[in-house]
Amino acid sequence: MEEHFIAKSNKEIEFLEGPRSRWQELIYLKDVFCDLLKGIRKLHFCGPCVTVFGSARFKEDHEYYKVGEYLGAEIAKLGFTVMTGGGPGIMEAANKGARSVGGKNVGCNIILPFEQKANPFLDIWVDMEFFFTRKALLRKYSYAFVVLPGGFGTMDEFFEAMTLIQTGKMTHFPIIIFGKEYHKNLLEFIDDLKRYKTISPLDDKLITVTDDPDEVIRYIKKNVNILENLRPHNKMKPSRWLFEK
């Protein structure tokens, strides 16, 4: 972002500035554990999901916001829960679209110094303190990833998913990039990576690129069979002994 913000908490800053006392490191690890545990507990029954990535900055009258809203509705019609980063912009649009057709919505909102708030279209959301725990949850429950136009955060989420699939740390779930013109330089960069042989010749086949929202839906429908291929989320029942709902 153009502005620079002063963090409310300096925990993450201090951790990344080098080694501290063993006790301080242990406290930080405790905070990370609690952040991840909170998210897992809250989202345990949310799936199966499709995660929509995109900028928080697009307003309701922008074409990409409208695309996000349409995709959210169509993803929900396939029977998936729509998962987003929980904030405004394209995240809000996808959740709004799912809500409009009676679909399920979840969000992993990040706690930031400028107080990003969860959008009003979420059924369930969790406020995460750490970006890396948040990203883990955005991937954990999803079986496809839709990348709409966004900034650094969207690119971070996209490349991390690509890396995990490339290295076999995550199953090859569909990754669809929407917006050929917007992502033109990104796609050229990926071509350069292939030309310089810093990625494998077939690594660019891990993604599909389109300008057609309906192609996004067709690709998800073709490659992810919610009835046959997915973990049976609907067989998982909350336990009252664990205070689950």
- Ranges 107-116, 195-204, 205-214, 219-228, most confident: 205-214
Out of 2-6, 14-18, 238-242, pick the least confident: 2-6
Q: Please say whether the beta carbons of 209 and 180 come within 8 A.
A: yes
- Outline where DSSP puts E strands in 68-212: 81-84, 105-110, 124-128, 142-147, 175-178, 207-210
CB-based contact 193:159 (threshold 8 Å): no
pLDDT for position 47: 78
What is the per-residue pLDDT for 160?
A: 93
Q: What domains, with CATH codes, occur in the chain? A: 46-224 (3.40.50.450)
pLDDT at 2: 41
- Residue 9 confidence (pLDDT): 55
What mean pLDDT is reported for the chain? 88
Q: What is the DSSP letter of 81?
A: E
How would you class 17 by CB atoms within 10 Å of its CB: exposed for 0-12, middle for 13-18, buried for 19 or more?
Answer: exposed
Torsion sign across C-alpha atoms 63, 87, 92, 172: positive
Q: Is the pLDDT confidence value at 115 over 60? A: no
Distance CA 208, CA 87 (A): 25
Q: Once rounded to an integer, what is the mean pLDDT over residues 203-219?
A: 93
| CB-CB contact of 93 with 68 (8 Å) | yes
